[in-house]
Chain A
Amino acid sequence: MSAVADPVLPKRRSRAWVKFRKSPSALLGGAIVIFFILIAILAPLLPVPGPVETDWSAVRKAPSDAHPFGTDEIGRDVLSRMIWGAQASLLAGVVSVMIAVALGVPLGVLAGYRRGWTDAVISRVTEALLAAPFLILAIALAAFLGPSLTNAMIAIGISAMPIFIRLARGQTLSVMTEDYVESARAIGVGHLALIWRYILPNIFPPIIVQGTLTIATAIIAEASLSFLGLGQQPPAPSWGSMLNIAKNFLEQAPWMALYPGIAIFLVVLGFNLLGDGLRDALDPRDT
C-alpha cells in the first residue's frame, strides 16, 4: 500500500442535466413553460393593443387580421388579454403551489418523522382542512385576506397545502422503514442530515408530480376567485377570468373561451412534462 501513491477520487459529473437533455418530452415541456414565461415577461414589448382598450365597433368579432384571436364582449383584443393574462395565471399557478409545497412538505415530513403527538396534531388539523372543499376553503381565505392577486395566491396555496402534508407524511413513513434509514442511524447521522440526505431525496418524486398537477388546479382556482372578484381585479386580465366571462357567450363567440382554454391546457401540459422530466432526471436509478 505504501509503495503505491494514494488513489484519487474522480470529479463528480452532473448526470441530471445530461439525462434531462436526452428526454424529448422533458425538453418539450421545458420549452412550453419557457415560452409562456417569456410571453408573460415581454408582454409590454409585444405589438398588441392594450389589454383593457375597448373598441366598441368591434364587439365579439370573430378572429381576423386586426384581431387574430377575435375580440370579447366589450371589444377588447383576446390575444392581447391572453398575453397580459399570462402573468397573473402563471403567478397564480406557480407561486401558490410553491407556497403549498414550502409549507406542506416540512410539516408532512415532521409528522412522519416524529410521529406520536406531533403527528397526531398535524394530521388532525390537515384532515380538518381537507374536510372543507378546496375551492370553498380558498374562497373563504381569500375573502378573509381581502381581494387581490397576492392574497388569492396565498389563499390557494394554503388550501392546496393539506394534500402535500398528507403526501409527504405518507412517503416519509414509508421511507423511514427502509433499511438505508436504519443504516444511517447505525452510523450516527443526526436528525437534520437524515432528513436532508435520506428522506427528502427519496420522497421527492411523487411530490414533483403532485406539484405539477396542482399548478393546473391552482390556475383554475384563480379563475374562480377572479370570477367572484377575489383574484385578479377586473379589468386586468387573467386566463381564468377570461374563461369565466366567455362561458356566457359560448354559442355567439366561442373564440373567447377557446384560446384561454388552449393556453391553460398547454401550460398544464408543459408543467407536467417538465415535472416528469425532472423527476426522471433526478432519479439516479433509471438511465
Chain B
Amino acid sequence: MSHTPILQARGLKRHFVTKAPFFGDPTVVRAVDGVDLTIGEGETFAIVGESGCGKSTLARLLVRLIEPSEGQVAYQGNDIGDLSEQALRDLRAELQFIFQDPFSSLNPRMTVGALIEEPLRTHGIGTLEARSTAVARILTRVGLRPEHADRYPHEFSGGQRQRIGIARALVSGPKVVIGDEPVSALDVSIQAQVINILEDLRDAFGLTLIVIAHDLAVIRHMSDRVAVMYLGKIVEVSPTDALFRSPAHPYTEALLEAIPIPTVGARKAHVAIEGDLPNPIAPPSGCRFHTRCPYAIDTCRTEEPVLRDLGDGHQAACHFAGDLTLKRIKPGDLRRTPAAARRFDVYSAARARTDPAKTQHSSSREEKPHAYR
C-alpha cells in the first residue's frame, strides 16, 4: 500500500531526567531514544514491544501530549513542535487519543453525554442541538444507546467504557487516532468486540489508526504495517504479513516465537530470549539487544546497527539483517488460537448482519491475504 505521509517522526527522543542527587549526576532514562517513523494516510500502523520499551511514551510524543527532548513530529508536513498552545489545542480535533485504561480515563464527575460532547464543545463544532444529535449518533455507532448519555461512567462495564472512550475520540471527526493499548485492559472476550468496532469506524471514517500493543494476535488481525520497538528504539518496520512471515531481527523472531502453537503436541525449537529488558538508564553498548541475542558476536557489542532497507518497505536494525537465517514461522503457526479466531469471525458476521452498510467494508478487508484459516 502506498500512502501520502500524514504523520512523521524524525529523530524523536524523550529522556526523563530525575532530580540531581546530592552527590553525582542525575539519572537519565532514555524512554524513547531516536525514533524515525512515517505513517501514511489511511493505514493502520502498529507499534509493538515488551513492557517498558517506550511504546506509550512514543504514542504521547506523536501527539505532543508530552514534549520531546529532541526531534520533530510533523503532521501533514507541519512541525507540531512549533505550534502555539492555542494552535496545538485546535489541532487536537484532528489528532485523537484512545487511552489504555477505560476505568481511569473518563472523568467520574461527567455524564457520558457530556464526555462525548466535550471534543465538539471544546472546538466549537456545531450548535447545541447538532452536538446532541452527534453524540446520540456516535453512541449508537459504538453499540450503546442514546439514553446512556445521562449516565455516569461508573455505571458501565470495562468494554462499554472503552467504547465510550472510542466515541469520545471519534466524535470530532479526527484524521489520526492513536490507541495506546486500547484493548489490553479488557477481558479477552471483550477485546474482539472492541477491535471490531475500531475497525468498523476506521473504515467508515477513513481514519489513520496507530495502535500500540503487545498482543501480536491483535496486531496481526488489524494492522497494515508494524514497527517493533526495543528499549526506546525501533528495531524493525515492515508490512504486517512480511514481518510475520519472515522476521529480519532476532528480537522480532523471539517475539513471534512466544506465540503459542494452538495444536496439541506441537513443539518448536526454543530460541526464546532470556533475562529482562536491560535498564534504560544505562542501555547496553552497540546493539541494544546483544545482551539477550542468541546470534550476537563481537561487532554487536561495539557497533550500533542502523535501520537498513531490505526491500518492499521492510527495514531492520541488525548487522545481519537478511543474512541471518532466522527460523521462519511456518504459516500455520501464525494463526490466533482457534477460540480467538472464532470469536473475531462470529462477531464480524453478526455485525455484518445487523448493519448492511458494513458488508462492503468487510469484503474489502477480506482481500488481505490472511494467514489464518
Contacts and interface: CB of A to CB of B under 8 A. Distances in A.
Contacts, number: 105
Contacts of B196: none
B32 to A, nearest CB: 17
Interface string B83-96: 00000111111001
Nearest to B63: A186
Nearest to B357: A1
A14 to B, nearest CB: 10
B137 A202 contact: no
B139 A187 contact: no
A183 B178 CA distance: 12
B137 A187 contact: no
A186 B65 contact: yes
B182 interface: no
Given A9-B113, A9-B135, A202-B108, A188 B146 contact: no
Interface residues of A, number: 28
A9 B90 CA distance: 27
B111 A184 contact: no
Contacts of A265: none
Interface stretch (A137-145, A189-197, A223-231): A189-197
B62 to A, nearest CB: 11
Contact of A6 (B63, B133, B172): B133
Interface stretch (B118-126, B230-238, B271-279): B118-126
Nearest to A198: B107
Nearest to A193: B122
Nearest to A202: B109
Interface in A255-287: 284-285
B97 A12 contact: no
B119 A187 contact: yes
Contacts of B108: 180, 202, 284-285
Interface stretch (B73-81, B98-106, B242-250, B343-351): B98-106
Contacts of B150: 9-13
Chain B interface residue number, banded = 35 or more
B281 interface: no
A182 interface: yes
Most buried by A among B90, B106, B107: B107
Given A178-B104, A190-B89, A9 B97 contact: no
A11 to B, nearest CB: 8
Contacts of B357: 1
Contacts of B165: 183
A198 B118 CA distance: 12
A188 B104 contact: no
B154 A285 contact: yes
Interface string A58-82: 0000000000000000000000000
A75 B249 CA distance: 98
Most buried by A among B122, B152, B168: B122
30 contacts: A1-B357, A7-B133, A7-B137, A8-B136, A9-B113, A9-B136, A10-B146, A11-B150, A12-B111, A178-B104, A180-B104, A180-B105, A180-B106, A182-B65, A182-B99, A182-B105, A183-B105, A183-B165, A184-B107, A186-B92, A186-B97, A187-B122, A187-B172, A188-B92, A189-B118, A190-B122, A198-B109, A201-B110, A284-B111, A285-B152
A180 B164 CA distance: 13
B122 A183 contact: no
Contacts of A193: 122
Contacts of B133: 6-9
Interface string B59-73: 000010100000000
Contacts of A201: 107, 109-110
A7 B136 contact: yes
A185 interface: yes
B325 interface: no
* The 8 nearest A-B residue pairs measured at CB: A188-B92, A201-B109, A284-B152, A188-B89, A7-B136, A186-B97, A179-B104, A179-B105
Given A6-B137, A7-B137, A285-B152, A183 B146 contact: no
Contacts of B154: 284-285
A188 B65 contact: no
A187 B99 contact: no
Contact of B109 (A9, A13, A182, A284): A284
A7 B141 CA distance: 11
Contacts of B123: 188
A42 to B, nearest CB: 38
B132 interface: yes
Given A6-B136, A9-B113, A202-B108, A188 B147 contact: no
Contacts of B106: 180, 183
B207 interface: no
